[in-house]
A and B are shown apart, each in its own frame.
Chain A
Amino acid sequence: GENVEQHPSTLSVQEGDSAVIKCTYSDSASNYFPWYKQELGKRPQLIIDIRSNVGEKKDQRIAVTLNKTAKHFSLHITETQPEDSAVYFCAASLAGRRALTFGSGTRLQVQP
Chain B
Amino acid sequence: KAGVTQTPRYLIKTRGQQVTLSCSPISGHRSVSWYQQTPGQGLQFLFEYFSETQRNKGNFPGRFSGRQFSNSRSEMNVSTLELGDSALYLCASSFSIDFSYNEQFFGPGTRLTVL
Contacts A34-B104, A98-B55, A99-B48 given: A89-B94 contact, CB under 8 Å? no
Residues B43 and A97 in contact, CB atoms below 8 Å apart? no
Q: Is the interface of A mostly helix, strand, loop or mixed?
A: loop
- The number of residues on chain B lying at the interface, defined by a beta carbon within 8 Å of a beta carbon of chain A, is 26
Cα separation A89 to B50 with both chains bound (whole Å): 25
Given contacts A43-B107, A45-B106, A93-B102, A99 and B43 within 8 Å (CB-CB): no
Complex CA distance for A34 and B44, rounded to whole angstroms? 15
A91 vs B55: C-alpha distance in the bound complex, in angstroms?
A: 19
> Total number of A-B contacts with CB less than 8 angstroms?
61
Take A44-B90, A44-B106 as given contacts and tell me if A98 and B33 are in contact as well, using a CB distance cutoff of 8 Å.
yes
Chain A, range 75-112, C-beta contacts under 8 Å to B? 89, 91, 93, 95-105
Partner of B104, one of A1, A42, A100: A100
Is the beta-carbon distance between B103 and A46 smaller than 8 angstroms? yes
Please give the number of chain A residues whose Cβ is less than 8 angstroms from any Cβ of chain B in the complex: 24
Q: Does B84 contact A (CB under 8 A)?
A: no
Q: A98-B31, A98-B96, A100-B45 are in contact. Are A43 and B56 (CB under 8 A)?
A: no
| Other-chain residue from A43, A49, A96 in contact with B108 (beta carbon distance below 8 A) | A43
Q: By the criterion CB–CB under 8 Å, are B102 and A98 in contact?
A: yes
Cα–Cα distance between A79 and B50 once the two chains are bound (Å): 40
CB distance from A99 to the nearest CB of B (A): 5
Q: How far, in whole Å, are A98 and B31 apart by their CA atoms in the complex?
A: 9
A98 touches B108 (CB 8 A): no
User: Closest 3 A-B residue pairs measured CB to CB?
Assistant: A102-B43, A43-B106, A32-B102
